[in-house]
Copies of this chain bind each other. A is one copy, B any other.
């Protein structure tokens, strides 16, 4: 293995080099992300309105477009120490295998039991719920990464955790369910008879295997109808991107420590939590004119919200109980075709990332899943880590870019986010190995159905 002098294979920050503040990229954005709107009045949601659903301190973070740095409470920093800093790894073996002059780095967020970056925001949200004196929180989970992360955080803080898990995932991913139970969470397959909205859906569609939209509606109802509970969400929201900035801050600190300047930063994008967190501090430099970077969001061709969606106000959930958010969206009624990257099957995109994309500050690409798994396997075989299908979208484009460098001879420095591990996704790998994986690309007609359901804003 070739190795550059004085640059370790894995860069670990020292404990004292870990970020003590989150970075809020909104503070440096000239065009601020559009506010959440009350679906009844079409007026911006007030803090008071939001506090019925979300924790007080998190609402303040959600609405804060001004403060660039927000202190990370000591309790959260203590928890971060349990699995952070995450390593920034130089992909020497991949570079060698590909014979590329590009220098590839990846920030690996899978080194914790939840297996993904989701824990960064889960502990923050659980902490503020505890601080507010709540009994517990409710949420939904699809692929299961967010639910697992929240269970761990709640277990640590001795907070009740109620997870509505999309029924098909509940049945197909019993291991995910058991991990959450190990951490003491109450996991309910959705739709369920524990909520009015669940009962209604079951009456209308007996035998349904559920959807993320339905699970969100149930979790919100459960939180708002029970004393001492609030609802928490693992992506899309401004507050989540703020917490996830710890990924980007550590990445930047590690690069700076060794005098490395990234040329491009790549991340997978579902709701935007990982990508937004990874690029935030670099985007801040770009927004302030201090440095330039190429940012690439990678999404599945089966759910192409940035590359083929519309920039419009839309519902965040299928049940239409949540506030309206302005974002690149395929319409809350869009049903993504089956894709093994469950974490990327969301119809919309973070308002922050949507605005940055709209302003030409970030690019987006869509990739098909068999190509993604091919890249994932090639990566695993030389770099060792078994990547999650979601994360592998970023691997695919990083490898594409490294191949371009091979053709042009450019020695670009490519940084990508490796958000998590694929231990619970082996059915997908099995389909890939057995040649049974198919690619799905929605037709324009498919997309038209989703767009037709966008709310009328007049």
Contact surface of A with B, Cβ cutoff 8 Å:
1, 3, 8-10, 12, 14-15, 75, 78-79, 81-83, 93, 111-113, 115, 152, 155-156, 174-175, 178-179, 181-184, 377, 380-386, 421, 423-424, 426-427, 429-430, 433
Q: Please list the 6 inter-chain residue pairs (A to B) with the smallest Cβ-Cβ separation, ordered nearest first.
A: A175-B426, A9-B81, A178-B426, A1-B78, A423-B423, A155-B381
Q: A113-B421, A421-B113, A423-B175 are in contact. Are A383 and B82 (CB under 8 A)?
A: yes
B430 touches A174 (CB 8 A): yes
Partner of A179, one of B79, B111, B181, B386: B386
B9 touches A182 (CB 8 A): no
A155-B382, A178-B430, A423-B424 provided; 11 other pairs, C-beta below 8 A? A1-B75, A10-B82, A12-B12, A113-B385, A113-B386, A115-B423, A178-B433, A179-B423, A182-B381, A182-B386, A423-B423
Within 8 Å CB of A10, what residues of B? 15, 81-82
B430 touches A152 (CB 8 A): no
Q: A9-B81, A15-B8, A423-B424 are in contact. Are A433 and B113 (CB under 8 A)?
A: no
Query: Quick one: which of A179, A382, A384, A421 has the most chain B CB within 10 A?
Result: A384
A9 touches B1 (CB 8 A): no
Partner of A429, one of B83, B178, B385, B430: B178
Nearest Cβ on chain B to A289's Cβ, whole angstroms: 36
B181 touches A433 (CB 8 A): yes
Nearest Cβ on chain B to A129's Cβ, whole angstroms: 17
Partner of A184, one of B182, B381, B384: B381
A113 touches B384 (CB 8 A): yes
Partner of A93, one of B15, B82, B93, B381: B82
- Could you write out 12 A-B pairs with CB less than 8 Å apart? A1-B78, A8-B81, A10-B15, A82-B93, A93-B156, A113-B380, A155-B382, A175-B427, A178-B429, A179-B429, A182-B380, A182-B433
B429 touches A182 (CB 8 A): yes
In the complex formed, the residue of B with least CB distance to A112 is B384
Within 8 Å CB of A14, what residues of B? 8
Within 8 Å CB of A423, what residues of B? 115, 175, 179, 423-424
B426 touches A179 (CB 8 A): yes
Within 8 Å CB of A377, what residues of B? 182
B9 touches A183 (CB 8 A): no
Query: Quick one: which of A1, A175, A182, A433 has the most chain B CB within 10 A?
Result: A182
Nearest Cβ on chain B to A13's Cβ, whole angstroms: 10
B15 touches A183 (CB 8 A): no
Nearest Cβ on chain B to A418's Cβ, whole angstroms: 12
Nearest Cβ on chain B to A427's Cβ, whole angstroms: 8
Within 8 Å CB of A381, what residues of B? 155-156, 182-184
Within 8 Å CB of A181, what residues of B? 429-430, 433
* Bound CA–CA A423/B424 (angstroms): 8
B426 touches A174 (CB 8 A): yes
In the complex formed, the residue of B with least CB distance to A175 is B426
Within 8 Å CB of A152, what residues of B? 384
Within 8 Å CB of A9, what residues of B? 15, 78, 81-82
* Bound CA–CA A174/B174 (angstroms): 13
Nearest Cβ on chain B to A322's Cβ, whole angstroms: 30
Query: Quick one: which of A155, A175, A184, A383 has the most chain B CB within 10 A?
Result: A175
* Bound CA–CA A330/B178 (angstroms): 34
Within 8 Å CB of A384, what residues of B? 82-83, 112-113, 152, 156
* Bound CA–CA A15/B11 (angstroms): 9
Nearest Cβ on chain B to A177's Cβ, whole angstroms: 8
In the complex formed, the residue of B with least CB distance to A152 is B384
* Bound CA–CA A319/B192 (angstroms): 53
Nearest Cβ on chain B to A16's Cβ, whole angstroms: 9
In the complex formed, the residue of B with least CB distance to A15 is B8
